[in-house]
Amino acid sequence: MSQAVTRTSPSAGNFFSRHWRGDYSLARSYWLHTVLLSSLLPAFSISALARLTNDMPARYGVAGVLGIAAFSYVAWIWGVRGCWMSAGRHVARGGRRWAEVAVKFLIVCGAISLVSSTFRASHSLREQFDIARGKQLGPPVVYQVRVDGKSILLQGGMNDGAADGLERMLQAHPAVQTVVLYSAGGWVREGKLVGDVIRRHRLNTYVEQECSSSCTLAFMAGRDRAMDPRAHIGFHTLYTVGGDDRINKSFDRKLTLDTYGKLGLPRDFIERIADTPSDQSWYPELGRLLQAGVLTRLASGGETAQLATIATSRDILEEEFKKGALFDIMARYHPKEFARMVDLAWARVQARASDAEILAVGREQVGILSRKLLPIASDASLAEFQQLVLDQAVALRGISAAACSELFYPRSRADAIAGREAPQAALPQEFANREQLVTQHLLRDADPANAGRFTLVERTRVIRKALAPLTQDELKLLSSPERRQSDPEATCDASIAYLRAVNQLPDDERKAALRVLYSRNN
């Protein structure tokens, strides 16, 4: 008799085994055990875990999520199995048949949905398993203190430990004033932590090549923020690794708006960031970066001692120069002048000068060589050079009449050969690109056979014809250094008129005029 009681008693065994056998009522098995315990409880657990691991490396949070996910699968199997068993006994207990059918139908639909969602999330699950094992989003982080001791390069991903590594480097090198960031991003948390280190040490930030994604969170921590004109700063919506993209989308947008909002960026700028998908990047123009407060100032580039750090020998410096198309052409077509330029630049490297100071030596030597080569340039190169100078003058006239006047009449010989140091530095980058191409053509096609042979009478006749369209006041102005200095606007206008007059000469006369014009004083 005792055996019969044991077999039929609903109280036999613990809570888990009783549910597994289907001993509880269908309503309790479905709503309490299956829906609440095996479905909603894991979701609440993940939410609580996210708060607990917010300040911990990503692998801990992801490992916790995977553990909860594994538990939820076990809990679901336990819940639906017991619910199915309870549904099978529901009619025998006096329940209605439709309730049994409805619950079993919901269980089958739920199983199909679970298999489907698991299949869709397979890539995300693999990604999470990799992260739990320590995988990082970016390449390994390396630090390089520049030889002048004033800046440190942080290159690589915003990986776990990047901030701690930077802190250790700064403790060992207290003279560092600037952090040079070269990163395509990584963990949002680590980007913020790197920013905290920069902010705590009251450092400046600088970008020589690229700083994107969570790297921008570190960059925004700098007191003084600047970038090389050729560099890129990229933004996109911050995103959650793993999980369902449809669920993460609203969370990621809010995370992006809140994170950049705390950095003080304008709302429209942040909205543009949030509207940029995580698999793309938005690279605002310099003006937009300045206007939004991402940059605190414009920079001409080369502010740190990168070259002096890399070039540990003269041969290495020479190879670094040859990476530039202009200097490579100079090395091939004018090796003696190139060797002299490298010697002068090497002296600046040994003095631990900044890139800007070292490259200024190179630009100066290219300028000197270009002026020497103008008399033997090809007709095409002279015409190209003439048009560039005219376009530069017109562009500078709209910026500064003094800068325009100085383009034609520099204050010193050093200014004349300093390339883009002044006044062309005020012009858009497109002019620098054109100047590079024009100079490359000049260095390649210069040939003594191109030199013109003109008598004094021929020179005078050509110049008079070119000057004929100018007024008497313009001619007097151009011939008077005192008047040129006192009236830069009129000087600029007269010089532009002169160049335009040369361009309007018949083809043969224009070639002769350019040859005479650019062969004088060389």
Tens digit of each residue's pLDDT (9 = 90 or more) over 175-200: 999 999 999 998 998 999 999 999 99
pLDDT score of 348: 95
Section 109-135 average pLDDT: 75
Residue 213 belongs to a domain: yes
- Listed residues 75, 102, 132: the one ending a domain: 132
- Do 52 and 178 lie in one domain? The reply is no
- Do 108 and 164 lie in one domain? The reply is no
- Listed residues 292, 324, 351: the one ending a domain: 292
Long-range pairs for 105-109 at CB < 8 Å and ≥24 separation?
Answer: 107/80, 107/83
pLDDT score of 409: 84
- Lowest-confidence range among 52-66, 67-81, 275-289? 52-66
Structurally, the chain folds into a number of domains equal to: 3
- Do 146 and 120 lie in one domain? The reply is no
Residue 137 belongs to a domain: no
Distance, CA of 254 to CA of 477 (rounded, Å): 64
- Do 127 and 157 lie in one domain? The reply is no
CATH value at residue 261:
3.90.226.10
Please tell me what DSSP assigns to residue 296. S
Answer left, alpha or beta for residue 521, where phi above 0 means left and psi between -120 and 50 means alpha: left
Given a contact cutoff of 8 angstroms between Cβ atoms, the answer to whether 356 and 303 are in contact is yes
* Residue 292 β-bridge partners: none
- Do 329 and 458 lie in one domain? The reply is yes
Per the structure, the complete domain to which residue 176 belongs is given by 142-292
- Do 72 and 92 lie in one domain? The reply is yes
Residue 298 belongs to a domain: no
pLDDT exceeds 80 at position 3: no
Section 62-71 average pLDDT: 74
- Do 321 and 395 lie in one domain? The reply is yes
Q: Is 275 in a helix, a strand, or coil?
A: coil
Given a contact cutoff of 8 angstroms between Cβ atoms, the answer to whether 516 and 460 are in contact is no
- Do 331 and 458 lie in one domain? The reply is yes
pLDDT, mean over the chain:
85
Section 316-327 average pLDDT: 94
Residue 288 belongs to a domain: yes
Given a contact cutoff of 8 angstroms between Cβ atoms, the answer to whether 442 and 385 are in contact is yes
Residue 63 belongs to a domain: yes
- Listed residues 110, 132, 154: the one ending a domain: 132
Section 322-343 average pLDDT: 95
Given a contact cutoff of 8 angstroms between Cβ atoms, the answer to whether 391 and 404 are in contact is no
- Do 88 and 163 lie in one domain? The reply is no
pLDDT score of 425: 65
Question: Would you place residue 153 in the very low, low, confident or very high pLDDT band (cuts 50, 70, 90)?
Answer: very high
Residue 320 belongs to a domain: yes
pLDDT score of 8: 43
**Distant-in-sequence, close-in-space partners of 51: CB < 8 Å, separation ≥ 6:** none
Cα 461 to chain centroid distance, Å, stands at 55
Q: Is 232 in a helix, a strand, or coil?
A: strand
What's the token pair of residue 340? Answer: 């002299």
- Do 122 and 190 lie in one domain? The reply is no
Distance, CA of 106 to CA of 103 (rounded, Å): 5
Distance, CA of 29 to CA of 20 (rounded, Å): 10
pLDDT exceeds 50 at position 157: yes
Section 434-448 average pLDDT: 93
- Do 282 and 355 lie in one domain? The reply is no
- Do 256 and 344 lie in one domain? The reply is no
Percent of the chain with pLDDT over 90: 48
Question: Would you place residue 134 in the very low, low, confident or very high pLDDT band (cuts 50, 70, 90)?
Answer: low
The residue ranking higher by pLDDT, 90 or 118, is: 90
Amino acid at position 399, single letter: I
Given a contact cutoff of 8 angstroms between Cβ atoms, the answer to whether 33 and 24 are in contact is yes
- Lowest-confidence range among 58-67, 73-82, 239-248, 381-390? 239-248
Residue 360 belongs to a domain: yes
**Distant-in-sequence, close-in-space partners of 143: CB < 8 Å, separation ≥ 6:** 152, 153, 154, 155, 165, 166, 169
Given a contact cutoff of 8 angstroms between Cβ atoms, the answer to whether 18 and 12 are in contact is yes
pLDDT exceeds 70 at position 156: yes
Question: Would you place residue 142 in the very low, low, confident or very high pLDDT band (cuts 50, 70, 90)?
Answer: very high
Residue 4 belongs to a domain: no
Cα 38 to chain centroid distance, Å, stands at 45
pLDDT score of 414: 41
